[in-house]
Amino acid sequence: MIHFKHEPVEEIIIKNLVHECLENFLYECYTLRFKEALWVDGVIIRPRNFIFGAGEKEYDDLMKGTRCYEKVTFVKFPKYAESVKWKDGGSYDLNLLNYNNNSKFRELAKWIKTQPEWDERPEGCSKGGG
């Protein structure tokens, strides 16, 4: 019989936290061919795991409960929707996964809202930036 064990992440390290407006975020998702992002507590979040040079140390850290994201991009998006359409992207829709019931991602959204990036206006965005 198989034994299952849940070992939650105890620490998350974020190397780059980027506040983006919806238009630029959707363009990035389109060009990188992302099909989905996470929505939680009024924020769209797209974590990127890949770290150049990641190897044995990063694997050991993961086994010890530490998760490292090379980049976390977020967009203020108050109301949940199943998807959001990029107006300049033809038929491109980004699916939003509702992670509001996931305590880890609720804590991440709460933490993002306390960071200086939350109050900054995203660069290159029209009308207030979102």
DSSP state of 93: E
Q: Encode the chain (130 residues) as per-residue pLDDT tens digits.
A: 999 988 888 888 898 999 999 999 999 999 999 999 999 999 999 988 755 555 666 667 666 778 888 899 999 999 999 999 988 767 899 999 999 999 989 999 999 999 999 999 887 776 544 5
Q: Domain residue spans in the chain?
A: 11-119
In this structure, the number of other CB atoms found within 10 A of the CB of residue 111 comes to 14
Burial environment of residue 47 by CB neighbours within 10 A (0 to 12, 13 to 18, 19 or more): middle
Q: Enter the tokens of residue 37.
A: 């992002």
DSSP-derived secondary structure for 35-84: -EEEEETTEEEEEE---TT--HHHHHHHHTTEEEESEEEEEE--S--SEE
The predicted pLDDT at position 129 comes to 46
Q: What is the pTM of this model?
A: 0.83
The predicted pLDDT at position 16 comes to 92
Euclidean distance between CA atoms 96 and 83, whole angstroms: 5
| Structural contact between residues 38 and 45, judged by C-beta atoms closer than 8 angstroms | yes
Euclidean distance between CA atoms 82 and 32, whole angstroms: 20
